[in-house]
């Protein structure tokens, strides 16, 4: 295991590596993000009117229309803005410090994306269980028209989350205590708990949380091995592209999906059958990314 490249992200964090400063940064980022989101909501409501806003707000909670999904994705841009402010105020750091050398990050992003898309292409030709075969949800022409916006939105959403968790929290923790158990485990646990949604996921809530924790560990490992956020963003983007734009669980943020699975995340039997496949796919994706990076 070689995490030497990780120092590219850790070094800029060392001058401000203090747990209380990190805690203050997380709180400030969260407060700014919520404040910006509320400001956007009030401005949007003032423009479209109370009745139209109430209808849109319901759709935003369910994610069952293309507009609702796109708005949710693009709003993550506010998280990037909030984090940039936090870095400047509390750490005297730049946003690019969290990503790594831009040229290297872009090259690694491209390498991992190609590898993962090849993996997905192979998996798609393998016969599956008929009971979990996705069904058409949107006309292909309309989906294709919305695809560019969907990809841009996903790029914003996945980049924002990776910058926050693997870029900011992970690097600040690693600069304070270098043991991987802390700087891999703690951000992954926080990331996983943000997926805790018993209303939507019902009895499968902790199953979803467990998967998110595993994803966080995979992304943390790739970040440390590569020294940039490029691979983690690629892993996140390809995963969410499949789950949001290609085939989504029924009733779970499915408004922009070409297909929907005949089950929801709250469907116990179906999700328990699907969970081992998802875990294996995550593991294969992690390995494919490592092969692409030769690390």
Question: Band of the pLDDT at 131, cuts 50, 70, 90?
Answer: low
| pLDDT mean over 77-85 | 97
pLDDT at 128: 65
pLDDT at 263: 79
Beta-carbon neighbour count of residue 47 at 10 Å?
Answer: 9
Number of domains, the chain: 1
pLDDT at 1: 56
Residue range 168-221, pLDDT digits in tens: 999 999 999 989 999 999 999 999 999 888 888 788 888 889 999 999 999 999
pLDDT at 12: 95
Alpha helices in the chain (DSSP H): 7-10, 19-48, 50-62, 66-74, 77-86, 102-124, 140-162, 170-176, 180-193, 198-201, 205-226, 230-240, 268-293
| pLDDT mean over 141-151 | 97
Percent of the chain with pLDDT over 90: 76
> Residue 39 and residue 191: Cα distance in Å, rounded?
25
Mention every residue, 6+ apart, whose C-beta is less than 8 A from residue 127.
none
Measure CA 166 to chain center: 11
Question: Band of the pLDDT at 130, cuts 50, 70, 90?
Answer: low
- pLDDT of 70 above 60: yes
Residue range 24-65, pLDDT digits in tens: 999 999 999 999 999 999 999 999 999 889 888 888 988 899
Mean per-residue pLDDT over the chain, rounded: 92
Residue 226: domain span: 4-293
Residue range 215-250, pLDDT digits in tens: 999 999 999 999 999 999 999 999 999 999 999 988
Burial of 144 (0-12, 13-18, 19+ CB in 10 A): exposed
């Amino acid at each position: 295991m070689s995490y030497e490249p990780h120092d590219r992200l850790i070094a800029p964090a060392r001058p401000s590596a203090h747990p209380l400063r990190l805690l203050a940064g997380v709180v400030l980022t969260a407060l700014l993000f919520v404040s910006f989101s509320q400001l956007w909501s009030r401005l949007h409501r003032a423009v479209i009117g109370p009745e139209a806003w109430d209808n849109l707000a319901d759709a935003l909670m369910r994610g069952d229309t293309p507009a609702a999904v796109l708005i949710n994705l693009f709003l993550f841009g506010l998280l990037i803005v909030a984090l940039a402010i936090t870095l400047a105020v509390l750490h005297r750091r730049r946003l690019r410090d969290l990503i790594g050398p831009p040229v290297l990050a872009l090259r690694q992003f491209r390498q991992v994306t190609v590898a993962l898309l090849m993996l997905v292409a192979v998996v798609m030709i393998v016969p599956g269980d008929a009971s979990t075969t996705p069904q058409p949800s949107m006309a292909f022409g309309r989906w294709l028209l919305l695809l560019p916006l969907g990809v841009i939105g996903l790029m914003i959403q996945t980049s924002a989350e990776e910058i926050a968790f693997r870029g900011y929290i992970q690097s600040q923790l690693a600069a304070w205590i270098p043991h991987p158990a802390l700087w891999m485990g703690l951000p992954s646990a926080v990331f996983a708990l943000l997926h805790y949604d018993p209303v939507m996921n019902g009895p499968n809530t902790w199953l979803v949380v467990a998967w998110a924790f595993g994803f966080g560990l995979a992304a943390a490992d790739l970040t440390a091995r590569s020294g940039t956020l490029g691979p983690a963003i690629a892993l996140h983007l390809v995963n969410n592209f499949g789950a949001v734009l290609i085939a989504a669980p029924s009733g779970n943020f499915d408004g922009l999906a070409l297909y929907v699975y005949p089950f929801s995340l709250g469907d116990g039997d179906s999700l328990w059958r699907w969970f081992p496949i998802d875990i294996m796919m995550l593991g294969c994706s992690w390995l494919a990314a490592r092969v692409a990076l030769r690390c």
